[in-house]
C-alpha cells in the first residue's frame, strides 16, 4: 500500500504522524511511504532521517495526497487540504467532527474513509489515542505551573519543592484521571505537597496504591474544594465528564479565597474548563490574571512539546497504521472492534452516532459496509 504523510499546516502544529522508525517498519513490510519534505522538522526529525528509513521524500503536499491510498496525519484536514481528499482514500487522524460542520460536510463530499483517532475505543472504554496526549498535558501542567509561580512571571515566588527548612508548595489537582494522575506524579516528584480530588472512590483507591506518600487523596465535594483552595499555590483542573462540558467547580468568587500570585492551570479548558474564569489561550500568549490569580488556559498543551508529543502519539497510533496498511481498512476494522469505532465517515456515509447527532445527518450502521464489501 502507498502510505502518505503530509506536513501539518494547521497554525502552530509541529507534530508529525509518522516517525522514521515507523517508516522503516512499513517499508520493511513492503509498503511505500510518500513523505512531504520538512514535515518532521518541527519534531526534530530531518528529511534525511526519513530518506534513510526508506521514505520517498517529495516537495509538494499535493503529490502526497495524489499518490497515497492511506494518509496519516495529526490534525483534521484544514480547508486548503479539502480539495486533495479523494474517494476511497483512507485518512487516519484526529478529526473532532462534532466541532465543525463545514469539515464534516467536506469529508462527506470527498468520499474518503475517515478514521478518527479520538473515537478509537477499547472494550474497557479507554480511548488509547487520546491517552498519550493527556499524559503529556498532565505532566506539562506542573512544569508550566512551576514556571508561572516564579516572580518574573507575576507569580507568588514559591518554589514547588521548597528546600530543607522551608515548606514545599501546595498543589491541588481537581480530577484524578490520566491528566490528574500524571500531574500528581510530577508535582510529587518535584517535592510539592499534593492534594488530589476525585469523585470516584475506586479511582482514589487505585491512586492511593500507585502514588507516593506526599499525595493526599480526597473525595471531591464543595466543602473539601474550598478548604483546599485557601491553601493552594498551584491548582490543576483535570476533570472530565465524557461527552459533556466540564462542570464549573471553582467559581469566580472563590479566587478571593486564594493566595495572591497563585497559579491555575486548567487543562480541561478544551471542554470548557472546570474553573469559571478560564478561557482558551495559546502558547504564544498563555496566561492572564483575574483577581490576582494567574490563569493558564492553553487548549493544545502537547503542541508546546512536539518532539515528545509526536513520539508519544505515534507509539499509540502506529500499531493501527500498520494494520490498516497490511489488511486494508475493511479487514482491519472487521478484526478489531476498537478500530471499528474509529470509523466516522465512510465514502459519503456518516457511521458514527455522535457525528450524525451533532448535525442531524442520517446514520449508517458500519456493519452494512462490510456486507456490501466484495
Ligand atoms: N489542554 C490540553 O492540551 C489537553 C490535553 C489533553 C487532555 N485535555 C483535557 O483534560 C481533561 C481531563 O482528561 P483526562 O484524560 O484526564 O480524563 P479522564 O476521564 O481520564 O479523567 C477525568 C477525571 O475527572 C473525574 N471527575 C469527574 N467529575 C469530577 C468532580 N466533580 N470532581 C473531581 N473529579 C471529577 C473523573 O472521576 C475522572 O477520574 C479533558 O477535558 C481532556 O480533554 C486537555
What is the average pLDDT score of the chain? 96
* Residue to substitute in 98, 128, 177 for testing ligand 1 pocket (most ligand atoms within 8 angstroms of CB): 177
Stretch 170-180: mean pLDDT, rounded? 98
Instruction: Using the mean position of ligand 1's atoms as its centre, give its distance from the Cα of residue 241 in Å.
Output: 7
Stretch 247-254: mean pLDDT, rounded? 97
- Residue 318 pLDDT grade (very low, low, confident, very high; cuts 50, 70, 90): very high
Residue 374 clears pLDDT 70, i.e. is over it: no
Instruction: Using the mean position of ligand 1's atoms as its centre, give its distance from the Cα of residue 304 in Å.
Output: 19
- Which ligand 1 atom sits closest to the C-alpha of 247? 31
SS3 content of the chain, % helix, strand, coil (to 5): 45, 20, 40
| Phi and psi at residue 314, to the nearest 5° | -70, -30
Instruction: Using the mean position of ligand 1's atoms as its centre, give its distance from the Cα of residue 239 in Å.
Output: 3
Instruction: Using the mean position of ligand 1's atoms as its centre, give its distance from the Cα of residue 170 in Å.
Output: 20
Residue 369 clears pLDDT 90, i.e. is over it: no
How many Cβ atoms are within 10 Å of 222's Cβ, its own excluded?
Answer: 10
Same fold, 2-119+306-371 and 133-304: yes
Q: Helix crossing, 20-28 with 306-335: angle to 10°? A: 30
Better pLDDT: 108 or 241: 108
- Minimum CA distance residue for ligand 1 atom 42: 268
- Which cell numbers in the block locate residue 84? 486533495
**What pLDDT score does 245 carry?**
81
**What pLDDT score does 99 carry?**
84
Residue 26 clears pLDDT 80, i.e. is over it: yes
**What pLDDT score does 12 carry?**
85
- Residue 271 pLDDT grade (very low, low, confident, very high; cuts 50, 70, 90): confident
> Which run of H or E residues covers position 131?
helix 131-148
**What pLDDT digit, counting tens, does each position of 78-97 carry?**
999 999 999 999 999 999 99
**What pLDDT score does 261 carry?**
98
Stretch 208-215: mean pLDDT, rounded? 98
Instruction: Using the mean position of ligand 1's atoms as its centre, give its distance from the Cα of residue 81 in Å.
Output: 32
Query: In angstroms, rounded to a whole number, what is the distance separating the alpha carbons of residues 371 and 256?
Result: 61
**What pLDDT score does 373 carry?**
53
- Which ligand 1 atom sits closest to the C-alpha of 300? 3
Stretch 330-345: mean pLDDT, rounded? 96
* Residue to substitute in 94, 240, 272 for testing ligand 1 pocket (most ligand atoms within 8 angstroms of CB): 240
**What pLDDT digit, counting tens, does each position of 142-174 carry?**
999 999 999 999 999 999 999 999 999 999 999
- Which ligand 1 atom sits closest to the C-alpha of 181? 16
Residue 126 clears pLDDT 80, i.e. is over it: yes
Residue 292 clears pLDDT 90, i.e. is over it: yes
Query: In angstroms, rounded to a whole number, what is the distance separating the alpha carbons of residues 196 and 360?
Result: 40
CA 345 vs. chain centroid, Å, equals 21
- Which cell numbers in the block locate residue 104? 464534516
pTM, rounded to two decimals: 0.93
**What pLDDT score does 217 carry?**
98
Q: Which are the contacts of 244, defined by CB distance < 8 A and separation ≥ 6?
A: 271
**What pLDDT score does 372 carry?**
57
* Residue to substitute in 117, 121, 145, 179 for testing ligand 1 pocket (most ligand atoms within 8 angstroms of CB): 179
**What pLDDT score does 243 carry?**
66
Residue 111 clears pLDDT 90, i.e. is over it: yes
**What pLDDT score does 371 carry?**
73
**What pLDDT score does 242 carry?**
72
**What pLDDT score does 345 carry?**
97
Q: Where are the domains of the chain?
A: 2-119+306-371, 133-304
**What pLDDT score does 241 carry?**
84
Q: CATH for 133-304, among 3.40.50.12500, 3.40.1790.10, 3.40.50.720, 3.50.50.60?
A: 3.40.50.720
Which residues have C-beta atoms less than 6 Å from ligand 1? 133-134, 137, 174-180, 197-200, 203, 220, 238-241, 246-247, 249, 267-271, 299-302
Residue 61 clears pLDDT 80, i.e. is over it: yes
Q: CATH for 2-119+306-371, among 3.40.1190.20, 3.40.50.720, 3.40.1280.10, 3.10.129.10?
A: 3.40.50.720
Query: Which residues are identified as catalytic?
Result: 96, 270
**What pLDDT score does 11 carry?**
85
Cell 456490501, residue?
372
Amino acid at each position: 500500500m502507498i502510505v502518505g504523510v503530509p506536513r501539518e499546516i494547521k497554525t502552530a502544529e509541529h507534530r508529525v504522524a509518522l516517525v522514521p522508525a515507523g517508516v522503516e517498519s512499513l517499508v520493511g513490510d513492503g509498503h511505500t511511504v510518500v513523505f512531504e519534505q520538512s514535515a518532521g522538522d518541527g519534531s526534530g526529525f530531518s528529511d534525511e532521517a526519513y530518506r534513510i528509513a526508506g521514505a520517498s521524500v517529495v516537495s509538494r503536499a499535493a503529490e502526497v495526497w495524489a499518490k497515497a491510498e492511506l494518509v496519516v496525519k495529526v490534525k483534521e484536514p484544514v480547508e486548503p487540504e479539502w480539495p486533495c481528499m479523494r474517494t476511497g482514500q483512507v485518512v487516519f487522524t484526529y478529526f473532532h467532527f462534532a466541532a465543525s460542520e463545514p469539515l464534516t460536510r467536506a469529508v462527506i463530499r470527498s468520499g474518503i474513509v475517515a478514521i478518527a483517532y479520538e473515537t478509537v475505543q477499547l472494550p474497557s472504554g479507554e480511548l488509547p489515542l487520546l491517552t498519550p496526549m493527556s499524559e503529556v498535558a498532565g505532566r506539562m501542567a506542573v512544569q508550566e505551573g512551576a514556571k508561572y509561580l516564579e516572580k518574573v512571571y507575576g507569580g507568588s515566588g514559591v518554589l514547588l519543592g521548597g528546600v530543607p527548612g522551608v515548606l514545599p508548595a501546595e498543589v491541588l489537582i481537581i480530577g484524578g484521571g490520566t491528566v490528574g494522575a500524571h500531574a500528581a506524579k510530577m508535582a510529587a516528584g518535584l517535592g510539592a505537597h499534593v492534594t488530589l480530588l476525585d469523585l470516584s472512590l475506586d479511582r482514589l483507591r487505585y491512586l492511593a496504591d500507585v502514588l507516593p506518600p506526599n499525595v493526599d487523596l480526597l473525595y471531591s465535594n464543595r466543602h473539601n474544594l474550598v478548604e483546599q483552595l485557601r491553601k493552594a499555590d498551584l491548582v490543576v483542573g483535570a476533570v472530565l465528564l465524557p461527552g459533556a462540558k466540564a462542570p464549573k467547580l471553582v467559581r469566580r468568587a472563590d479566587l478571593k479565597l486564594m493566595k495572591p500570585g497563585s497559579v491555575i492551570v486548567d487543562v480541561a479548558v478544551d471542554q470548557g474548563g472546570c474553573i469559571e474564569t478560564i478561557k482558551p489561550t495559546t502558547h504564544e500568549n498563555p496566561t492572564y490574571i483575574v483577581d490576582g490569580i494567574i490563569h493558564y488556559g492553553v487548549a493544545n498543551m502537547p503542541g508546546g512539546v512536539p518532539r515528545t508529543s509526536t513520539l508519544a502519539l505515534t507509539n499509540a497510533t502506529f500499531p493501527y497504521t500498520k494494520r490498516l496498511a497490511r489488511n486494508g481498512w475493511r479487514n482491519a476494522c472487521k478484526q478489531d472492534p476498537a478500530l471499528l469505532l474509529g470509523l466516522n465517515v465512510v465514502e459519503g456515509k456518516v457511521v458514527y452516532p455522535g457525528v450524525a447527532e451533532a448535525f442531524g445527518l442520517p446514520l449508517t450502521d458500519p456493519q452494512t459496509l462490510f456486507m456490501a464489501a466484495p
